[in-house]
Amino acid sequence: MNFDFSDDAKTMRESARKFLDANAGAAIARKSMNGTATYDADLWKAVIDLGWTAARVPEEFGGVGLTAEESCVLAEEAGRSLAPIPLTSVLAATEALLRAGSKEQQARWLPGIAEGKVIACVGWGEGNAASPSTAALTVKDGKASGVKLPIADLLGAQLAIITANGPKGVQLYLVDLGGAGVKTELVETLDLVRRSGKLTLDNAAVEALGDADAYQDWLDRAAILAAFEALGTTAASMDMTVAYAKDRVAFGQRIGRYQGVKHKCADMYIKLELARAHALHGAWAMGADAGELRQAASAARVASLDALSFTAEETVQLHGGIGFTWESDCQFYYRRNRQLASALGSSAWWADRLVRALERRNAA
Partner 1 sequence: MDFNDTAPEAEYRAKARAWLEANIGEYREPTEFGRGHADFVRHSKIWQKKKYDAGYTGITWPKSMGGQGLGPMNSIIYNQEESRFHAPTGLYAIGLGMCIPTVFSHGTPELIERYVAKALSGVEVWCQLFSEPIAGSDLAGIRTKAVKDGDTWTIDGQKVWTTNAHLSDFGIIVCRTDPSKPKHKGLTMFIVDMHAPGVEARPLKQMSGGADFNEVFFTNVKVHDSHRVGAEGDGWKVALTTLMNERLAVGGKPSHAPGYKTLMTLAAGIQTDNGPAIAQSTVRERIASTYIADEGIKLTQMRAQSALSRGEMPGPEQSISKVVVAKTMQDLASFAMDLNQSSGVVTDGSNPELNRLQGSYMASAGLRIAGGTDEILRNIIAERVLGLPGDMRPDKDTPYNEIKAM
* 246 interacts with partner 1 by CB under 8 A: yes
User: Nearest-5° angle of CA 32, CA 35, CA 36?
Assistant: 105
* 70 interacts with partner 1 by CB under 8 A: no
DSSP result, 262-278: HHHHHHHHHHHHHHHHH
Contacts of 253 by beta carbon, 8 Å cutoff, 6+ apart: none
Contact set for partner 1, span 262-281 (CB under 8 A): 262-263, 265-267, 269-270, 273-278, 280-281
Length of the chain: 364
Residue closer to partner 1 by CB (options 8, 21) is 8
Contacts of 341 by beta carbon, 8 Å cutoff, 6+ apart: 305, 308, 309, 347
The 106-135 site mask, x for binding partner 1 (CB under 8 A), equals ------------------------------
Residue closer to partner 1 by CB (options 32, 295) is 295
* 242 interacts with partner 1 by CB under 8 A: yes
* 72 interacts with partner 1 by CB under 8 A: no
Largest CA distance in the chain: 72
Contact present, 70 and 8 (Cβ < 8 Å): yes
Size of the site for partner 1 (CB under 8 A): 48
Contact set for partner 1, span 300-329 (CB under 8 A): 302-303, 306
Query: Strands 120-123, 159-166: parallel, antiparallel or unpaired by DSSP?
Result: parallel
Residue from 17, 31, 248, 254 binding partner 1 (CB under 8 A):
254
Amino acid code (one letter) for 1: M
| Beta bridge pairs of residue 166 | 169
Please tell me whether residue 147 adopts helix, strand or coil conformation: strand
| Beta bridge pairs of residue 163 | 172
Residue from 299, 308, 312, 343 binding partner 1 (CB under 8 A):
299
Cβ count near 158 (within 10 Å): 15
* 259 interacts with partner 1 by CB under 8 A: yes
> Least CB distance from residue 321 to partner 1, whole Å?
21
* 5 interacts with partner 1 by CB under 8 A: yes
Residue from 25, 58, 111, 256 binding partner 1 (CB under 8 A):
256
| Beta bridge pairs of residue 200 | 147, 183
> Which residues contribute to the site for partner 1 (CB under 8 A)?
1-6, 69, 242, 245-246, 253-254, 256-257, 259, 261-263, 265-267, 269-270, 273-278, 280-281, 283-284, 287-288, 298-299, 302-303, 306, 348, 351-352, 354-355, 358-359, 362
